[in-house]
Amino acid sequence: MSKKNLIIGVSILLCIFFISNSNAYPINYITLENKFNARMEITDLYVVDLNNDGSKEIIATSYDSKVYLLDSAANKIWQYDAKAYVYSVNAIDMENDGHLEIVAGSSRIHVLDFNRTVLKKSQRLDPAKKIVVGDFDLDGFDDIMVSTGRIRSNTVYIFNNKFETLWQKSVRGEFLWGIAMEDLDNDGKKEVIIGGSEILVYDADKNLVWGFKPDGGVRDLFVDDIDDDGKKDVLVGSYPNFYVITNDGRLKWSYKTKSTVKSIHVTDLEHDGKKEIIIGSDKAYLFDAKGDLIWSFNTSGDVNFVHSGDLNWDDTEEVAVASKRIYVLGKDGSVQWEYEPYRAAMKLLITDVDNDGRNDLVVGGLDNTVYLFKAREVYIRGIQSYSLYEEAEKLYNKGNYSGAKSKIEEAIYIGNRWNIGKCKEDFNKCNSLLQRINEKLPSTTTTTTTTTLTTTIEETTTTTLPGGGGTGFIIPAVIIFIILVAVMIYLIKRR
């Protein structure tokens, strides 16, 4: 290869690199607020307002036999010793008095109030792997459904609020990770859905309604009317397939992955009335209700849990993925943010913990840690400014000058107010667009605005933001550029 061809080749690579990053923006809009360390792995998480003070508490369980109650800032309020591994947790209003209690699953079912008082405790059971709460017998009081068992020996119980057994059934198979009680046939009575070595649906009298045999054991189960046809579907995760089954046991569609489907979540990402299905397996997958794959995302290991919620206040939901790394993905599957804990994340939830109107991210994992992450307004405003600029350009090109003016002025305001974003980093381009827009509008409404906005943004002092702020992507780009140039010089000298 000649020096000329070498230089041309490296130059092309440099151009591709900078073109691909020319529209980059900071993705560190989520930062670690606090973390709590247990003594062993976190097994389950639940977030709910137990004391009706407007802020939610974080309930975490662990292999250290403890139930931990944390406040909205992830500080420990108390811990409770269940005397055995604690696998699962939920919340129930036992007395139907508007106050929720904690239900924790260990070798017994423990019911605790906010003050750590033990209200109920079941007889000794096999390890309680999963807990579901709902009114099974339709008496107006919540009941507790729990799957218990060891390898190839499992029992499902439903207890009422007095811990009397309403329903009990032993089934064969491995651990029962998937259970639900839902009215599948719209007759006003709930069926019991059990996922072990197969899917089994029973009525209230323990009569088998239907069964479905997947290729592998059931790892997760989710019930939802995904296509809004008035009939609930049963969504099943197994190895290596994901199944959608009708309410009468017929296969609607399936998809083969390359690992066990451990987590299923149904949501409407764009709030357009059309539901999407997120599953976690060898990677994260997003499907529409018909089974068409919208996108998939490669993760750093098998996916343990998926969830969704709006983290950047754009009225669309982000997808949160728990793997060896924690990912937040946009509706198109692009990475918005990621974080690497010491060991793999096992569960995560997007919810507004502190009641400030903005969702937070709560994560628990194998590193014995509960993480509380919060979205930072300064970073989110910066991200929004890029979208506002693009929208302003599109509206300008379509001749909607008043709409374009509103968008670009908001983008410029973000640069003024937050010292971040498109119009902070390239205010000349923003002001140029504003000037072109103003030239298309009546002159009486434009002169003062243009001067004020231009002067203000140019005189703003640059502020260094914690965690990298608006320049979070610039430093890596510069480093990579220097490395590429050094490689080019080295190769030229070798020739």
Tens digit of each residue's pLDDT (9 = 90 or more) over 157-200 = 999 999 999 999 998 776 688 999 999 999 999 999 999 889 99
d(CA 344, CA 323): 6
132 has pLDDT over 70: yes
Residue whose C-alpha is closest to residue 287's, from 227, 229, 231: 227
> For position 6, what pLDDT does the model report?
53
Residue 476 binned pLDDT confidence (cut-offs 50, 70, 90)? very low
d(CA 369, CA 355): 23
- Tally Cβ neighbours within 10 Å of residue 267: 18
Lowest average pLDDT, out of 178-182, 243-247, 423-427, goes to 423-427
Q: How far from chain centre, in Å, is Cα 403?
A: 33
> For position 17, what pLDDT does the model report?
45
Q: What are residue 36's phi and psi, to 5 degrees? A: -125, 135
Q: Average model confidence (pLDDT) for the chain?
A: 87
465 has pLDDT over 50: no
Work out the average pLDDT over 334-344.
Answer: 95
> For position 381, what pLDDT does the model report?
87
> Which carries the bigger pLDDT value, residue 466 or residue 221?
221
460 has pLDDT over 70: no
> For position 216, what pLDDT does the model report?
87
Work out the average pLDDT over 97-118.
Answer: 96
The answer to whether 107 and 123 are in contact (CB under 8 A) is no
The answer to whether 197 and 239 are in contact (CB under 8 A) is no
> For position 402, what pLDDT does the model report?
94
The answer to whether 297 and 284 are in contact (CB under 8 A) is yes
Looking up tokens 């529409």, which residue turns up?
288
The answer to whether 22 and 425 are in contact (CB under 8 A) is no
Looking up tokens 């899917």, which residue turns up?
199
> For position 409, what pLDDT does the model report?
94
Q: What percent of the chain has pLDDT over 70?
A: 83
> Which carries the bigger pLDDT value, residue 478 or residue 377?
377
Work out the average pLDDT over 324-344.
Answer: 95
Work out the average pLDDT over 97-123.
Answer: 96
382 has pLDDT over 70: yes
3 has pLDDT over 70: no
Compute the radius of gyration of the chain from its Cα atoms: 27
Work out the average pLDDT over 109-113.
Answer: 97
> For position 12, what pLDDT does the model report?
52
Work out the average pLDDT over 218-233.
Answer: 96
Amino acid symbol at 390 = E
